[in-house]
Amino acid sequence: MNKRRIVLITGATGGIGKAAATAMAKRDYIVIIHGRNEEKTRQVAIEIQKISGNKNVDWIIGDLFLLAEVRKIATNFKKKYDRLDILINNAGGIMGKKRENTSEGIEKTIAINLLAPFLLTGLLLDLLEKSDEGRIINVSSNSHQLNANPDFKDLELKNNYTPLRAYGNVKLFLIWISQTLSEKLILLNTNNPTVNTLHPGAISTNFGVNSDLGILLNIIGKIARPFLKTPEQGTETIIYLATSSEVKNISGKYFVKNKLANVSDKYYSKQNKELIWDYCLEKTKIQ
């Protein structure tokens, strides 16, 4: 492969996403960072260009709470690029103690952490298939083991919502849709692109900082902060999945610290996994 590889990273204006974008720029990839605020995203792209000495750091804008904006990101990306080698669906986070819907009527945790990566991946799949070695990397969390407790008749938690429960659920669902996509691609006799998920570790970023999680979790968050790892340390497994030849044929797996890890099977059934895929299809109306 002599062509410079192209990587798109969502939520790259801060935290793990920005650190991953910087690391990829230093490795001479063509890097497109995504953000929701034009000025902030442009500034971060310029900062990464300076730090890395790589002029090929571009930016793209869209609010991932909204499916219409996800569509806009994909359309604008396709106006500039006709191939994508690596898609890192990194943007995500935990919402506040009060359950909120987006203006499109979808619960916010599920909108940004599950439906946005599902739709963006679907819309960019044709460009990823054009890569010699396409890779989709979805940033999940060990919260899928610690906090998930889904109600399969109430996926958006209209009842008994808590921010941690909603977050744990969507990170589990993100792993399931990644596995399903990988299985579907393999059934089509292609392992290109591969699709893998990971837990980045407990990392000191803006994660949860602006969400009112309730008094107890707010206090725990403040106490834990000095013990967390740096955003750079949080990129370890992302960069491994994006760049290592060891994983070029591995798909549908979950990684922690550069190693294959077990996915919680507590809520797993074939039907539940299919139900989540069908929910994503129905909400995003992607073909």
Ligand X SMILES: NC(=O)c1ccc[n+]([C@@H]2O[C@H](COP(=O)([O-])OP(=O)(O)OC[C@H]3O[C@@H](n4cnc5c(N)ncnc54)[C@H](OP(=O)(O)O)[C@@H]3O)[C@@H](O)[C@H]2O)c1
Q: How far is the CB of 69 from ligand X (least distance, A)?
A: 8
28 φ, ψ (degrees, to nearest 5) = 75, 25
Should residue 112 be labelled a site residue for ligand X when binding is judged by CB under 6 A?
yes
How many whole angstroms separate alpha carbon 22 and alpha carbon 202? 20
Task: Pull the structure tokens for residue 175.
Answer: 């792993």
181 close to 195: Cβ distance less than 8 angstroms: yes
Instruction: For the chain, state the CA radius of gyration.
Output: 18
Helices (H) and strands (E) in the chain, counts: 10, 8
Span of 8-16, 47-55, 215-223, 236-244 interacting with ligand X by CB under 6 A: 8-16
Which of 200, 241, 254, 273 contacts ligand X by CB under 6 A? 200
Should residue 102 be labelled a site residue for ligand X when binding is judged by CB under 6 A?
no
Should residue 207 be labelled a site residue for ligand X when binding is judged by CB under 6 A?
yes
How many whole angstroms separate alpha carbon 207 and alpha carbon 155? 23
Span of 11-19, 182-190, 212-220, 270-278 interacting with ligand X by CB under 6 A: 11-19
Which of 23, 64, 87, 164 contacts ligand X by CB under 6 A? 64
Task: Pull the structure tokens for residue 1.
Answer: 């492969």
100 close to 50: Cβ distance less than 8 angstroms: no
Report how far apart, in Å, the C-alpha atoms of 142 and of each of 124, 197, 230 are: 27, 11, 17
Should residue 164 be labelled a site residue for ligand X when binding is judged by CB under 6 A?
no
Q: Judged by CB under 6 A, how many residues of this single chain contact ligand X?
A: 27
Q: How far is the CB of 110 from ligand X (least distance, A)?
A: 12
**Which residue among 29, 161, 167, 268 is the active-site one?**
167
Should residue 93 be labelled a site residue for ligand X when binding is judged by CB under 6 A?
yes
284 close to 276: Cβ distance less than 8 angstroms: no
Should residue 168 be labelled a site residue for ligand X when binding is judged by CB under 6 A?
no
> Is 161 designated active site?
no
- Angle (CA) 75-59-176 rounded to 5° is 65
What would the x/- binding string for ligand X be over residues 208 to 247, using CB under 6 A? ----------------------------------------
Task: Pull the structure tokens for residue 33.
Answer: 């960072």
Should residue 90 be labelled a site residue for ligand X when binding is judged by CB under 6 A?
yes
Should residue 76 be labelled a site residue for ligand X when binding is judged by CB under 6 A?
no
Could you give the residue numbers annotated as active site?
167
Q: Which residues bind ligand X (CB under 6 A)?
A: 11-17, 35-37, 63-65, 90-93, 112, 139, 141, 199-200, 202-203, 205-207
